[in-house]
């Protein structure tokens, strides 16, 4: 009887591991729709996808660093710096009389935002590589970089709010309709290919699972970790550009809280916080769970304080499930 119960328990854990995120999305959708049918409308679903596309892009970058056994707390400040620089460039190149932003500037800021993120990620990765850092060191280093990059964003605009000087143009189109969702899906596809079809991706998993073994296998640990942080920074930089396009303004607080939301999506998506396990697809599911859940709470007029409590409970539950998953996998390996 004990063996049967253990088998049943493993099957339940296995089912939740593979299908838990999709099941949770369906449950949230069903409950919210029964109370407020408007939740399942096409317009609301598009709003969810559009609103959380920037968080999704940042979460994909965060997933890379966590899979590699680290993390990046500087992505919020990176988003803010990218956002204020983007708005300065767009406003400076817009046709003031007709209030139309330049199409060339719209393309330019994509590269500028990504370059800003890459530079921040390069500094993060280089410092972590020099000190031979793991999760603890990456936490402290990227937290310090969060302060530094945030101060840089303050200095660029002297702490002032930046309003859009345009009403139309190509840049504005980046934030409307399905365009942000397309950006999100393209980034997800590219990052998934890198993670699953390249030697770098395999090395990143190896590094996150066992740093000492990765070194003994001849993997350039510092290089792999630096690249993962550069890619994370690039995602944050792009997210900063897109969020400005969506809200038509920029401030030094633009990216505040993004690092926590990204970590929540990664944890909910089943990426092991200890490193060495996870996928971009499951990170996307984590983004959808958080997006559907918070939107459902908004539609149901749940107070903001209660929403924060629910968000915290969901993250804790995700961490507990991650622990249960690791223990289940260890038992399977021993057998």
Q: What local confidence, expressed as pLDDT, does residue 76 receive?
A: 93
| 3-state SS, residue 162 | strand
pLDDT above 90 (res 228):
yes
What average pLDDT score do residues 53-66 get?
94
pLDDT digits (tens, 9 = 90+) for 8-36: 666 666 666 666 777 877 888 888 888 88
Most confident of 169-183, 191-205, 267-281, 305-319: 191-205
Q: How far is CA 15 from CA 9, 21, 315, in A?
A: 10, 10, 19
Q: What pLDDT does 4 receive?
A: 55
Nearest CA to 142 out of 76, 231, 234 is that of: 76
pLDDT tier at 97, thresholds 50, 70, 90: low
Question: Residue 184: which pLDDT band, with cuts at 50, 70 and 90?
Answer: very high
* pLDDT computed for residue 284 by the predictor: 92
Give the predicted TM-score (pTM) of the model. 0.90
**Can you tell me the mean pLDDT for 60-84?**
93
CA distance 129 to 136: 13
The per-residue pLDDT for 312 is 80
pLDDT for 2 equals: 53
Out of 1.10.3210, 1.10.3470, 3.30.460, 3.30.700, the CATH code matching 22-327 is: 1.10.3470
Supply the DSSP symbol for 277. -
Q: What is the pLDDT of residue 307?
A: 82
Q: Which two tokens stand for residue 66?
A: 């966590």
pLDDT tens readout for residues 256-313: 889 988 988 898 888 888 888 888 998 998 899 889 888 888 888 888 888 888 878 8
Q: Where are the domains of the chain?
A: 22-327
The pLDDT score that the predictor gives to residue 32 is 85
More confident residue, 1 or 127: 127
**What are the pLDDT digits (tens) for 209-223?**
888 888 888 899 999
Residues in the chain: 335
E strand or H helix at 92, and its extent?
Answer: helix 75-93
Residue 96: what pLDDT? 67
Mean pLDDT of the chain: 86
Please check the confidence at residue 333 and state whether its pLDDT lies above 70: no
Compute the average pLDDT of residues 76-85: 94
pLDDT at 316: 80
DSSP string, 314-335: HHHHHHHHHHHHHHHHHHHHH-
Q: How confident is the model at residue 329 (pLDDT cuts 50, 70, 90)?
A: low
Give me the mean pLDDT over the 170-184 stretch.
90
Over pLDDT 70: what percentage of the chain? 89
């Amino acid at each position: 009887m004990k063996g049967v119960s253990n088998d049943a328990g493993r099957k339940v854990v296995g089912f939740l591991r593979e299908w838990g995120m999709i099941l949770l999305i369906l449950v949230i959708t069903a409950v919210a729709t029964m109370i407020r049918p408007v939740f399942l409308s096409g317009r609301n679903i598009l709003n969810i996808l559009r609103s959380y596309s920037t968080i999704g892009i940042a979460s994909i970058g965060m997933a890379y660093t966590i899979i590699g056994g680290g993390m990046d707390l500087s992505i919020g400040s990176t988003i803010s710096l990218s956002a204020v620089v983007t708005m300065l460039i767009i406003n400076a190149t817009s046709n003031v009389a007709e209030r139309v932003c330049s199409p060339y500037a719209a393309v330019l800021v994509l590269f500028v935002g990504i370059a800003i993120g890459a530079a921040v990620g390069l500094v993060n990765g280089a410092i972590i590589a020099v000190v031979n850092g793991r999760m603890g060191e990456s936490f402290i280093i990227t937290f310090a970089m969060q302060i530094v990059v945030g101060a840089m964003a303050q200095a660029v605009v002297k702490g002032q709010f930046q309003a859009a000087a345009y009403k139309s143009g190509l840049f504005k189109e980046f934030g409307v309709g399905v365009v942000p969702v397309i950006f999100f899906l393209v980034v997800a596809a590219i990052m998934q290919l890198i993670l699953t079809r390249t030697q770098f991706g395999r090395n990143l998993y190896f590094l996150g699972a066992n740093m000492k073994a990765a070194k003994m296998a001849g993997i350039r640990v510092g290089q792999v970790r630096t690249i993962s942080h550069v890619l994370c920074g690039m995602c944050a930089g792009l997210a900063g550009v897109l969020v400005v396009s969506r809200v038509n303004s920029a401030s030094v607080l633009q990216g505040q809280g993004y690092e926590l939301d990204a970590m929540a999506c990664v944890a909910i998506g089943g990426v092991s916080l200890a490193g060495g396990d996870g996928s971009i697809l499951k990170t996307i599911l984590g983004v959808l769970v958080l997006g559907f859940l918070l939107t459902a709470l908004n539609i149901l007029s749940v107070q903001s304080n209660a929403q924060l409590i629910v968000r915290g409970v969901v993250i804790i539950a995700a961490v507990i499930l991650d622990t249960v998953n690791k223990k289940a996998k260890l038992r399977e390996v021993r057998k």
